[in-house]
Amino acid sequence: MSLLFPGYSGLTYFGRLPFLAAALTFALLLDAFLLVNCYWTALLTVSQRNILLFVLLSAWVGLTVFVKKYRQHIEAVLNVDAASEAFQQAAALYLQRRWDAAETFILCQLHKNPGDAEFLLLQASLYRRIKRYEEALNVLERLRRLESGNRWYVEIETEKRLIREEQNC
């Protein structure tokens, strides 16, 4: 059905307005063509019917290309959301105090993207929680040296302060 009707699969999967617009546009054009071609047959000559059929097929191709490009755009945007989903999963493991699983997951994500500041900060916090203070300080120093590390200055300093406090106890 999705191949025959541009926008249908995107509408059912993503529920976005451009998919609805493409599906409705094609539906209206198809309905108009069928109405004129089947019901008001005396109004059209063969050449007019062929022109309308060409317009319908052109609209189908154009809408299919538009929907495909828009779907690629949406999927690219959702890949960014996949990164935040991975962070949410890591944070959930951290908050559940499943330290080993959280560390494994964080290290896996950092292997894919070593410069991910959020995961580095979470890793440092995890190491502080499990009393691996030297490793936590090393991760914080690595985070500070990153280009995006300036954005995390307050969090880095807070983690360092918490480490110092826990070491003194």
- Model confidence over 93-103: pLDDT tens digits? 999 999 999 99
Q: Is 0.75 surpassed by the pTM of this model?
A: no
Per-residue pLDDT, averaged over 42-70, amounts to 91
| pLDDT score at 107 | 96
Model confidence band, residue 80 (pLDDT cutoffs 50, 70, 90): low
| pLDDT score at 149 | 82
| pLDDT score at 159 | 95
Whether the predicted pLDDT of 79 surpasses 70: no
Of 4-18, 120-134, 140-154, the range with the highest mean pLDDT is 120-134
| pLDDT score at 78 | 66
Q: What share of the chain in percent tops pLDDT 70?
A: 95
Closest of 33, 35, 29, 37 to residue 60, by C-alpha: 29
Per-residue pLDDT, averaged over 111-139, amounts to 94
Q: How far apart are CA 61 and CA 95, in angstroms?
A: 50
Per-residue pLDDT, averaged over 129-146, amounts to 95
Model confidence band, residue 13 (pLDDT cutoffs 50, 70, 90): confident
| pLDDT score at 120 | 95
